[in-house]
Amino acid sequence: MEYPPLREYGLIGNDDRCALVSRHGSIDWCCFPHLESPSVFARILDAQRGGHFAVSPTADYESNHRYLDRTNVLETTFETADGQATVTDFMPLCNGGEPDDDRFQQAIYRYLECDRGRVEFDVEFAPRFDYARTEPALERTDDGVLATGNGERLQLAADGPLARTLEITTSTTATGTVSLEAGEQCWCWVQYGGREPASSADQERVLDETKRYWREWVGSRDSAPDSMLERWHEMVIRSELVLKLLIHHETGSIPAAATTSIPETIGSDRTWDYRYNWIRDAKFTIQSLHDTGHTQEAREYFEWFSDIARTDPASITPVYGLHGESGDELEERSLEHLAGYRGTGPVRIGNAAGPQQQLDIYGTIVQAVYETMQFDSATTITGDEWGAVRDIVDHVCNHWDERDAGIWEFREERRHFLHSKLLCWVALDRGIALATENDLEAPLDAWLEERDAVREAIEERGFSEKANSFVQHFETDEALDATALLIPIYEFLPPADDRVQATIDAVLERLTTDDGLVVRFVDSDIRRDEQKGFFLCSFWLVDALVLSNRVARAREYFERLLEYATPLGLYSEKVDPETGQLLGNFPQAFSHLGLINSVTYLTRALECDGEVTPADFDPENVETLFRRGDSPGT
C-alpha cells in the first residue's frame, strides 16, 4: 500500500481521542486510551508494520468523503461498476445514557449502507499495540475478534453476515467480507479496554446522539454576522470542530496536532511529536475560542494555564503534556522500527523542547490573562493568580536580555530573537495594564523602566536599516522572520509606523509567494532558507495587512489560502507552494486558530468599510462571531 497524501484524510474523534480515516476507508492512525497514548493503528507512519482497520469495496472504486453538516461524523462514499455505498465513521459522544463512563468513548463505529445496486466490502483488522512494538494475539469471539497484548485489549465486533465471515487469516490480522444490496446496512466497531462492545441495536441511537452533540455545540447556522461570507462561515465552523476534537475534556489543554512525526519536508529529519500543549498557543487560542462564542472552553483553557503560571516562573516550560506533565518529563525518543510517513524518519515520541529556555512563553501567559479578563466579564483575578502574574513579570525584568531558543525552537543555537523580546515587552506592558486597570499592587516604577529598556533594545537592535525591516534576531542585518508581522498585532507599534509598513513590504517581497503563502524565515545564519509555506504565518500576514488597511490584498491572500485546505476543510502545519502537498503534523491546531482569527479581522474590516484601527479589535468593541442561539442547532 502507498501512503495517501494528507489531504485524503479525515479526522474523527471525541474529547481527547482522535483517528485519521483515509478516503479509501482505512483508519491509519489512532491512539487509545488518549490522544497522546501509544498507537493501536499507525499505518500512516509505516505502511507495512503500523497497523490499520480498513473497510473498502472488493471491486475497483471511486471514492470521496464529507462531514455530515456541522459534525465530526465522516461519510465516505464508494462507487463501483455495480453500485454505490456509504461508510459512516465516528467516535461516540452521548448527551444521555453514559456520559460519565470514559470507556464508552474509547470506541470507533463504522456504519456500512448500500445506496444503490450491490457492493461487496472487505474488512481488514490489523491492530498493532504500543506503536507497533507489540504484535497482538487474536482470538475469535461470538460476534468478532479480540486482540490482546502488552496488557491491552481491542475488540472488533460486527453484526449480521459480516460477523459470520470474520476469520483470523494470519497471527495478527483478521478479515471478513459482506455483500450489501440497495437499502441493506451493516455495523462494525472496535472497542478499546475491558468494556464489552455495545449491541448493534444501540448503534443508531449513538449515531443520532453524536450528531446532536456536535450540532448543539456548534450552535445555530444563522448566527454569523451579515458581513461574513458564507464560505468563511463554513471554514470557521470546521475549524471550531477541529479544535473541539483536540481539546482535552479533563484538563482543557489543547495539543498542537493530532499526530506525531509527519515530516515538515519529505526526506527531512524534521519530524516532531505535536501531541502536547505549547504555552505560546495561549493568546491565539483564547482569542479564537472567545471569537467563536465558546466561553466555557476558553475559561477551561484559561484555568489550565493559570494553574501552570502559579509555579516558579523559572520552572515553567514551553510545552506540557495534556494531563499537566511538565516539559521536562516529555522525554523524546525515536522509534527505529517504524519507517515514517512516506519513508521519512525518524518517528519520534515525546518532545525535547521542554527543557529549552523560550522567553516568549511569559508574554503569552500574561497576554492570555489580560485578554481573558477583557473578553469575559465574569473572570476576575484572585490574589494567588495576581501573585503568579507578578512573579512572571518580575522574572521577565530579570531575564529579558538573555539569549533563548526562540519560537522556532532552534536546538543548537541561542540568539536574542526579536519575537522573544517582543513577547517580553508584552509581558511587561500587559502586566502594567492589569495592575493599573484593576488597582493591583505591583512595582510599577521598575516594570515601566524595564518596559522602556525592552522597547529601546527592539527599536535599536531589532530593526535593520540595510534590510529596511525588523529582523529575526539582534545579531543580523539580513535574516527576515515572519514573526515580525506580530509587531502591530501585539500593538508594540501602530500599523501606520513607517518601520511596520517597511517590514510588511519586506515580508511580501522576500517571504511570500504570489498565492500569499509565507515561509517562516530567509537568509538566517541559523538554518538554511525554508521553501515550504507555513500556514499560521500566512494568516498573520492577512491580519497585518488588514490592520494596515490593505484589506483588498488581505482578502485576496485569504481566499487563496482557503484553496490549500483539504476537501474536508482541514489544514496541516505547512504546504509545498509548488505542488500543494500538505506537510507537517495534521490537522494542526495553530493553522485553524490562525484561520479563525483572520476571519475575525477580515469580517471586522468589512463592517468598518475597510478602514480599521487596532481599537476596532478591542474585545469591548467586538461581538463574538458566533453567538449561541436561544435553541440548539439541529
Domain boundaries, the chain: 6-217, 220-621
**What pLDDT, on the 0 to 100 scale, is given for residue 139?**
96
C-alpha to C-alpha distance for 448 and 429, rounded to whole angstroms = 8
* pLDDT confidence of residue 288: 86
Find the range with the poorest average confidence among 321-335, 395-409, 410-424.
321-335
* Domain 6-217 matches domain 220-621 at the CATH topology level: no
Predicted pLDDT of residue 620? 57
Higher pLDDT pick, 253 / 119 = 119
Instruction: Quote the cell numbers at residue 519.
Output: 515561509
Among 403-407, 600-604, 625-629, which range has the highest average pLDDT?
Answer: 403-407
For residue 303, the model assigns a pLDDT of 83
615, three cell numbers: 481599537
Q: What is the tens place of the pLDDT at every residue in 423-433?
A: 999 999 999 99
Which DSSP state fits 273? B
Each residue of 74-85: pLDDT tens digit?
Answer: 999 999 999 999
The answer to whether the beta carbons of residues 479 and 524 sit under 8 Å apart is yes
Q: Which has the closest alpha carbon to 472: 484, 487, 460, 455? A: 484
Q: What span, in angstroms and rounded, lies between the C-alpha atoms of 521 and 527?
A: 9
pLDDT value at 296 more than 90: no
Rounded CA-CA distance 358/345 in Å is 26
Fold for 220-621, please state it. Answer: Glycosyltransferase (1.50.10)
15: part of which helix (H) or strand (E)?
none
pLDDT of residue 223: 65
Query: What pLDDT score was predicted for residue 527?
Result: 86
Mean pLDDT, residues 106-113 taken together = 96
- Which residue did the predictor score with more confidence, 131 or 299? 131
* pLDDT at position 163 over 50: yes
**What's the pLDDT score for residue 433?**
96
Instruction: Examine the pLDDT at 345 and tell me if it is beyond 80.
Output: yes
pLDDT at position 371 = 85
Task: Tell me which of 460 and 247 has the higher pLDDT.
Answer: 460
CATH architecture of 6-217: Distorted Sandwich (2.70)
Mean pLDDT check: name the lowest of 35-44, 56-65, 291-300, 479-488: 291-300
Cβ-based neighbour number of residue 441 at 10 Å: 10
pLDDT digits (tens, 9 = 90+) for 538-567: 999 999 999 999 999 999 999 999 999 999
- Structure confidence at residue 627 (pLDDT): 38
**pLDDT score for 624:** 54
Confidence check: pLDDT of 633 > 60: no
| For range 409-418, the mean pLDDT | 92
Q: What is the mean pLDDT of the chain?
A: 91
Under the banding of pLDDT at 50, 70 and 90, the label for residue 298 is confident
26 contacts 56 by C-beta, under 8 angstroms: yes
pLDDT of residue 300: 84
pLDDT value, residue 200: 56
Phi then psi for residue 405, to 5 deg, are -85, -15
Closest CA to 580 of 571, 589, 593, 591: 571
Q: Which residue has the cell 470542530?
A: 241
- What's the average model confidence in pLDDT over 500-520? 97
Residue 233 has pLDDT above 50, yes or no: yes
Exposed (0-12), middle (13-18) or buried (19+): which is 493, by Cβ within 10 Å?
middle
| Of the candidate ranges 234-243, 318-327, 582-591, the one whose mean pLDDT is the lowest | 318-327
pLDDT in tens, 597-624: 999 999 988 888 767 776 766 655 555 5
Long-range contacts, stretch 71-75, CB < 8 angstroms, 24+ apart: 71/210, 71/211, 71/214, 71/215, 71/241, 72/11, 72/12, 72/13, 72/14, 72/214, 72/241, 72/244, 72/245, 73/12, 73/207, 73/210, 73/211, 73/214, 74/10, 74/11, 74/12, 74/21, 74/568
For 39-48, what is the mean pLDDT? 97
- Rounded to an integer, what is the distance from CA 335 to the centroid of its chain? 23
> According to the model, what pLDDT value does residue 96 have?
47
Under the banding of pLDDT at 50, 70 and 90, the label for residue 234 is very high
How far apart (Å, rounded) are the C-alpha atoms in residues 587 and 575?
Answer: 12
C-alpha distances out from residue 320 to 48, 255, 275, Å? 32, 9, 10
For the ranges 94-108, 222-236, 328-342, 604-618, the maximum mean pLDDT occurs at 328-342
H helix runs in 462-550, sequence order: 486-489, 498-510, 535-547
Omega of the bond prior to 255 within 30 degrees of 0, cis?
no
CA distances in angstroms from 4 to 29, 66, 80, listed in the order given:
12, 17, 20
Q: Work out the widest C-alpha separation in the chain, in whole angstroms.
A: 79
Residues 568/10, Cβ–Cβ less than 8 Å: yes
Q: Which three cell numbers stand for residue 233?
A: 462561515
**Helical spans, DSSP H, in 201-274:** 203-218, 230-246
Rounded distance between C-alpha atoms, residue 134 and residue 114, angstroms: 36
